Amino acid sequence: MTEKRSWNWIEEASDRIKASYPLAVSILCTVLYFIYLYLHSKVEMASCGLDLYIHIIILDTFVLIAYLIIGVKYFTSKMRTTFWCLETYPDSNSTIEDLYNRLESKFTRSKIYYLIVALIAISFVLIPIPTREDFWYYYEPSMWSALLDIFNYIAALFILYLMATILWIMISVSWLLGEIGSVSYRHNIKIDLFSSDNVGGLTPIRRLILELVVYQFIAISLGIMNFITPGGAFYIEITFFLLLFVLSISIFIKAWHTIDNLLDYKRKSEVESINQLYNQLHQRVRDMIITKNSDYDEERLNKVLTSMDWFRDERIQVLSASRKTYTIKNIITFISTSFLPIATLIVTYIIPLIISKESAEYATLNQSLEILNEVSKQILVIL
């Protein structure tokens, strides 16, 4: 196995942290959340406009940052470990090593990744071009409003960078699936059609794809809450999240197709091998029956016929082995989570209709937010 190296700065940073990485990220984002609330409270206009929906977006921002950072670390490592979980034939080591090196080079050195990051950042933040009215500093010039504006744009750009990285992981996994299922590499993958996982021992691939797709559906839902607010027409944002949604579905389908092809290739190879042996025995029986020369032996003939019966049964078992690429549970998980982005988009526009600003529920929630703001101020004063 190739020596483990970090494939991005997030993975490298996580290796330096001695404590639990998810816990450390969660604590960091919680601190940033309270700092943001503190800056928000220092800007009078921003503080006055801190209602339920804005607070949901603020909270979602830091939940999304933590979620994406943890996801980048997890799936970068998972992609690599899943690759080495695949069983290969001893004479295929150099070929598989070459594929791994190609994956690493593509993931860490490709200029396409930086192009994706730039396009996403430009589309969300620089189109349309920000005007003075987009900044709190324009309405209330002060150090606090300037810091709040800087914080807002850094947070938005960081989220987009992390989402682009997750998108790049999905593209890399999709490329890897294509290579594994290609004529060049599929004969190097060792597949046991009678494996207990009923998918030829390819569970690591299936698990990686399902986890990645479900993760992306949740990330898309959090992204919709962050970038799409009620009442607006956000064509770029909706298009972007729609593309992510379609890509997630396509990777799931591609994984299904790749695993099916690998299993089908293995079944055909096994059946061809069985057929060759069966045909040899069949020819021997024909020769023994037709010639009935001095070599003719009834007991020997019966043994050959028994062997032929075994090969016929074996062929039937091979043809029916490992036919369930995804289980019913996997499919239900995929379908149920795929509705999350759609439901989030709908709820984003329906919440204002359900809870009006004049309702008692809205007033109660706003009172809770005011208390939370005061608590955040006290925490930051103590810190």
Which one, of 55, 39, 45, lies nearest residue 146 by Cα? 39
Measured over the CA atoms of residue 159, residue 223, residue 333 and residue 25, the dihedral's sign is positive
Q: How confident is the model over 39-46, as a mean pLDDT?
A: 78
Task: Give yes or no for a contact between 221 and 340, defined as CB atoms under 8 angstroms apart.
Answer: yes
User: Sorting pLDDT into bands at 50, 70 and 90, what band is 225?
Assistant: confident
User: Sorting pLDDT into bands at 50, 70 and 90, what band is 241?
Assistant: confident
Q: How confident is the model over 60-67, as a mean pLDDT?
A: 92
Look at residue 74 in the predicted model and tell me its pLDDT. Answer: 93
Q: How confident is the model over 151-165, as a mean pLDDT?
A: 89
> pTM here?
0.83
Look at residue 359 in the predicted model and tell me its pLDDT. Answer: 56
Alpha helices in the chain (DSSP H): 9-16, 21-42, 44-48, 52-85, 93-109, 111-121, 136-139, 143-180, 203-227, 235-291, 298-320, 328-354, 360-382
Q: pLDDT averaged over the chain? A: 81
Look at residue 135 in the predicted model and tell me its pLDDT. Answer: 76
pLDDT tens, position by position, 260-273: 888 898 889 999 99
- Rounded-to-integer distance, Cα 361 and Cα 191, Å: 58
- Residue 189's beta-bridge partner residues? 88
User: Sorting pLDDT into bands at 50, 70 and 90, what band is 380?
Assistant: very low
Look at residue 292 in the predicted model and tell me its pLDDT. Answer: 63
Look at residue 89 in the predicted model and tell me its pLDDT. Answer: 83
Look at residue 290 in the predicted model and tell me its pLDDT. Answer: 75
- Rounded-to-integer distance, Cα 373 and Cα 379, Å: 10
